[in-house]
Amino acid sequence: MTINYTTLLPTIVSNYEGEMENSIFHGKGTAQFYSGNVYTGYFYKGSMHGQGKYEWNDGDIYEGTFENNSLTGKGCYWWVNGFHYQGDVLNGMRHGHGTFKKIMEPVSTETPQYPVGMCYVGEWVQGKRQGRGLLKYTEDGTFFDGEWYDNKKHGHGIMQYSSGNTYEGDWVHDVRQGHGIMTWKDRGEQYIGEWKNGKPHGYGEYIWFQDSNDNMPYHNIYKDNLGQFKMGLREGYGIFNYSTGAKYVGHWKENMKHGYGHYITENGRMYEGEFRDDNMAGVTELEYSQGGTMPK
């Protein structure tokens, strides 16, 4: 049956076609609103309740469960800007577990869509990424798999960048902070230790790898730095092992040997004393028994 009602729903209905009970929308029907929005689905005592489909006048679509006129339960959103969501919904917002992704073609529930660009699978709280989730960009291979809070990386997680470089460790509001491991695949380097404001800061170890023919790192052919860092630079006490076999144990300032330390050459000669700005105080070069100068 077709009846015009204007006051039964919070959004004013201009036309209704469907089942009724005691002159109230009840059962399956279609309601058209003066705003141009359309609902097709089930009603219960005058309210949208049960499975249904809601279409906004701008082309956005929700299809899923309703509870007393609220989009609540499980459902799917299609937005005209190319995004799609499928999962748990509470009061119209993504809440619980769900998948949010960019789809290729303009919105249509009649034709299949394929993910492009970005995709997030995980937990939501009131429309924001919160809890455990995986965000990936299919075009360049970038992804983050870990913990979220208020739409930001927060807690423990693994980030792979488009370069192939990776960071696994702690995050605070989208910034690397706490303890973590950064591997620069393109440079053959790795840092293991403490971070602050996105940079190595505190105690850590810096390693340089030499790749073999099968692109696997030889851990016994490397240079490394074990000690303290400040905003990405060697600062304080640390140990630096050179690939030549030489070694420096002592103090650093702004990435330079500075303060008390001792330096051992690859052939066993040693200098112990004060360093200033990467040089020995009073002596600028150390002659090896086989010739050459002290590396920096």
Distances (CA, A) of 143 to 139, 159, 188: 11, 6, 20
Residue 217 has what pLDDT? Answer: 40
Interval 263-292: pLDDT, tens: 666 776 777 667 777 666 755 444 444 444
Look-up of token digits 């015009």: 4
Same domain, 43 and 125: no
Judge whether 149 lies within some domain: yes
Look-up of token digits 């360049």: 140
Give the whole-angstrom CA distance, residue 246 versus residue 248.
7
Q: Are 238 and 247 in contact (CB under 8 A)?
A: no
Q: Are 180 and 162 in contact (CB under 8 A)?
A: no
Which ranges constitute the DSSP H helices of 153-294?
Answer: none
Neighbours of 31 (CB within 10 A): 24
Q: Is a pLDDT exceeding 60 seen at residue 174? A: yes
Same domain, 108 and 32: no
| Cα angle 47-83-136, degrees, rounded to a multiple of 5 | 130
- Which of 162, 177, 211 is a domain's end point? 162
The number of folded domains in the chain is 2
Give the whole-angstrom CA distance, residue 102 versus residue 99.
10
Note the pTM of the prediction, 2 decimals: 0.72
Lowest mean pLDDT among 93-97, 100-104, 145-149, 281-285: 281-285
Judge whether 168 lies within some domain: no
Q: In terms of residue numbers, what domain contains 127?
A: 70-162
Judge whether 122 lies within some domain: yes
Same domain, 39 and 76: no
Same domain, 88 and 149: yes
Q: Is a pLDDT exceeding 60 seen at residue 14? A: yes
